[in-house]
Amino acid sequence: MSHNIEELKKQFLEYLEIEKGRSLKTMESYDRYLSNFLKSTNVKKPEEITDETVRVYRLNLNRRRGPLGENLKKRTQNYYLIALRMFLKYLSRRTIPSLSAERIELSKVTGRHLDLISREELERLLSGGAGQNLKNLRDRAILETLFSTGLRVAELCSLNRDLDLTRDELSVKGKGGRIRVVFLSPLAKAAIKRYLEQRRDLDPALFARIAKKNQSVEELRLSHRGVERVVRHRAATAGISKKVTPHVLRHSFATDLLENGADLRSVQALLGHASIGTTEIYTHVTDKHLREVHKAFHALRRAR
């Protein structure tokens, strides 16, 4: 029986959406990666995916150049290959003949570099924008909420204004539809309260766009890009030359917890990481702490 690869791709994406509960953003990424593979290799049927097909495709990825002539990063190449492996596993589950997913090995990548800002830069960022107009109050509330909770930007955008600010915690739906509890600091709660007190619209979104005078805006919920623009603008205003994104504040949140004695498993739960391996990008913090412990407590008798 012959299978149309495009139809199988469509069914795979539907499987991710319905059975796996993957987000729309994840679905769009997998669609883009698989479409790239099919276009590059001209594969029409699953049995045409072979070791040689994948080898040529990997060469294509490795030799691809970006707009500035740069190579595609190994980590980015792996995203394409992970999507293909998951697709092949799906075909195997349906007993459709094709290449085994185990035949595709991912490229080795060096340790992930964390974009971090210093404690002093963080304080400047969070304390900036002291004005009491609606935009300043909103931006301050966004920054305080990001640092207090470690939320992903998509999770932040999905929040609604019906928060119970008498409590310190709220539930959010993260990647894969997983629910977790995050916590609001007193500073974050106070910033949100001041912002909401000045809101005059009835939109359910917690963080909303601010319509200009006489401007009609149907959708007020602040977008992913909108939050990124807020953070970037506030960083520039605070005199921070580094690129600052919402994810940098997520890194700062995790680093702050670990530097103050939190264990890696707790940070994993607060960040919503499915695997402890993802959280281990922060081991540079715990490594530093261990060095300090070693210096403070090891071989004290011999040092006398």
Residue numbers annotated as active site = 152, 175, 247, 250, 273, 282
Question: Which amino acid, one-letter code, is at 132?
Answer: Q
Which among 17, 79, 75, 1 is positioned nearest to 9, based on CA atoms?
17
- Rounded Cα distance between 4 and 137, Å, is 54
Which among 230, 249, 238, 242 is positioned nearest to 127, based on CA atoms?
238
- Element at 228 (helix H, strand E): helix 224-237
Q: Which residues is 182 bridged to in the sheet?
A: 170
Contact by Cβ (8 Å): 176, 22: yes
Q: What are phi and psi of 204, to 5 degrees?
A: -70, -15
- Rounded Cα distance between 16 and 55, Å, is 26
169: how many CB neighbours lie within 10 A of its CB?
10
Q: How many residues does the chain have?
A: 304
Contact by Cβ (8 Å): 120, 195: no
Radius of gyration of the chain (CA): 23
| Helix, strand or coil, per DSSP, at residue 69 | coil
Residue 127 Cα to chain centre, angstroms: 24
> In this structure, what token pair is assigned to residue 222?
């602040």
Helix axes 24-41, 5-18, angle to 10 degrees: 160
Distances (CA, A) of 291 to 11, 87, 185, 214, 279: 51, 44, 30, 60, 20
